[in-house]
Structure 1
Amino acid sequence: MQGSANLNLMIKAARKAGRALVKDFREVENLQVSSKGPGDFVTKADREAERIIKDDLMAARPTYGWLGEETGETPGVDPTRRWIVDPLDGTTNFLHGLPHWSVSIALEHKGEIVSAVVFDAAKDEMYWAEKGAGAWMNESRLRVSGRRQMIEAIFATGVPFGGRGTLPATLQDLARLMPVCAGMRRWGSAALDLAYVAAGRFDGYWERGIYPWDIAAGTLLVREAGGMVSGIREGDDPLEKGAVICANPALFEEFRKIIRG
């Protein structure tokens, strides 16, 4: 993999955390689990993966800022650069022994994501991208799908769980979208949903009530694979507003119109 020094550092950290997670995944029944809220779990493995990533990235780039799911935000001496990290996206899948979860690492520079890594450790699929250099999975260049008809397209989303307030809007989205497309998928990892759009496996993805660390890396993957990404509401920044929609260019406007109602 040819990339910048920062990207290579990110890939190395993701692989190191991924190896630790795979080891724990094989013994999922013995994981120590604590509840952060209804349907939202954090594991000892999750926190350890973030420690591994943070130690490696901050040792190499001590002036950068940090935003992690488990450890929160730490401003950097360099205010223009920040790591955005989800050490285990798909925690509920992980806890149930479902091999669909990922490590997500993004580098933000002056408010823009410039490098991205999403590592599916269970399948050994490393998705990576840098601004202007394309998106890749392992050694293969990624392109979004070429489908042009909604009725041929498969879309992904995250259906809210527990008492989340975005459930009514999501159910309305599904009622409008499902009759005009080929299928819906809810696989439980926003980072992988975005990576799959970049790889052409899904034709589009949307979700409300999402956090920056869930989607920061994936949005760059989609853009560098030729896809389109925006907020669900006109003019919104997905990372700031917590609502994202993306698709291949042929379907994007029609898809966004349906989701916007």
Structure 2
Amino acid sequence: MLDLDLALEKVKKWVKEAGDIQKEYFRKKSILINTKSTGIDLVTEVDELCEKHMLDSIKENYPLHGILSEESGKSDTNITSDYLWIVDPVDGTTNYAQGLPIFAISIALKYKDETILGVVYCPIVDQLFEAVKGKGAYLNGEKITIGNKRDLSECVLATGFPYDRAVHKDNNANYFAHLVPMVRGLRRMGSAAYDLANVAAGSLDGFWEINLSLWDIAAGELLIEEAGGKIVYLKEKRGISLVAGNEAICQKILDQIEYVDKIIYKTP
């Protein structure tokens, strides 16, 4: 069985090194920026440099493990290991390209489809969130726990919007508009991994989003669970869609999503 404590120390070193690359290029006018699926789905040369660093580190240390990464997809498809590393080298590329300091490196390790290690690192604000299955969740070495609020009116929530929001009606706009007047605050920070990590730490009270990908949520999912929180997947919606928070707030967000679905989308 893999030594998870040793693996965690290695991952923390890798993300700090990738974070140094991100800080070196941050706000440089010469940075190369391209688009992917849509004109608002960006990738920069820093995404690619950091991904290469992370993938090279994994392959050097765990050559028989599988890898799934945002920019490269599934690496080493001939590998049939029970271990799968899931990497997002820059979650929040639009923020990075704009010179906004909220973006994160997210890396998780799954064993037989169960996430057993997760790290989210936001280099500019120097916040490192970590979790190993069964050992709790931590921010910069201090244990974190999910928030304890019970009423939406007291909550600061976070959410995001899919890249195809201009052409797909299931784009979260109706849920956002419905929930805005019901909560203390609603944040759209631009990094699902960072949002989930902050829910785990109690800095945010809840989060929902639709049409995410595995690399967006794999590490954050474990952080939430290890901090005593809950994740509910919206299986009827596209991609990976979920609600996160403590049990009470999850249910209250779910109730409002269900209400909007009935009123707007006329679901039964």
Q: Same fold (TM over 0.5)?
A: yes
Aligned counterparts, 1:187-202, within 5 A: 187-202=189-204
Q: Distance in 2 between matches of 1:189 and 1:207?
A: 11
1:224, CA displacement in angstroms? Answer: 0.6
Q: Distance in 2 between matches of 1:35 and 1:189?
A: 17
Q: Match of 1:129?
A: 131
SS at match of 1:34: strand
Aligned counterparts, 1:97-116, within 5 A: 97-116=99-118
Matched AA of 2:110: E
Q: Distance in 2 between matches of 1:76 and 1:149?
A: 49
Structure 1 gaps of 5+ residues are none
Q: Distance in 2 between matches of 1:241 and 1:26?
A: 32
* 1:66/1:76 contact within 8 Å kept: no
* 2:120/2:219 contact within 8 Å kept: yes
Matched AA of 1:125: Q
Q: Match of 1:146?
A: 148
In 2 relative to 1, CA 165–133 (structure 1 residues): closer, same or farther, beyond 3 Å? farther
1:34, CA displacement in angstroms? Answer: 1.7
Matched AA of 1:18: G
Higher mean C-alpha deviation, range 146-155 or range 159-168: 159-168
- 1:123-174 superposed Cα distances (whole Å, 9 cap, x missing partner): 1111000111000011111111111111101111002355455554512212
* 1:38/1:163 contact within 8 Å kept: no
Matched AA of 2:161: V
1:245, CA displacement in angstroms? Answer: 1.1
1:178, CA displacement in angstroms? Answer: 2.0
Q: Distance in 1 between matches of 2:176 and 2:22?
A: 33
SS at match of 1:147: coil
Q: Match of 1:221?
A: 223
In 2 relative to 1, CA 167–139 (structure 1 residues): closer, same or farther, beyond 3 Å? farther
Aligned counterparts, 1:57-68, within 5 A: 57-68=58-69
Q: Distance in 2 between matches of 1:165 and 1:196?
A: 30
Q: Distance in 2 between matches of 1:212 and 1:160?
A: 14
Aligned residues: 255
Q: Distance in 2 between matches of 1:241 and 1:31?
A: 31
Matched AA of 1:158: G
1:33, CA displacement in angstroms? Answer: 1.4
SS at match of 1:197: helix
1:227, CA displacement in angstroms? Answer: 0.6
Q: Distance in 2 between matches of 1:125 and 1:112?
A: 25
* 1:115/1:130 contact within 8 Å kept: yes
Q: Distance in 2 between matches of 1:63 and 1:108?
A: 14
What's the TM-score, normalizing by structure 2? 0.89
SS at match of 2:110: strand
* 1:232/1:245 contact within 8 Å kept: yes
Q: Distance in 2 between matches of 1:162 and 1:111?
A: 28
Aligned counterparts, 1:41-80, within 5 A: 41-74=42-75, 75=77, 77-80=79-82
- 1:20-49 superposed Cα distances (whole Å, 9 cap, x missing partner): 11101142x110112223101111111000
Q: Distance in 2 between matches of 1:166 and 1:202?
A: 28
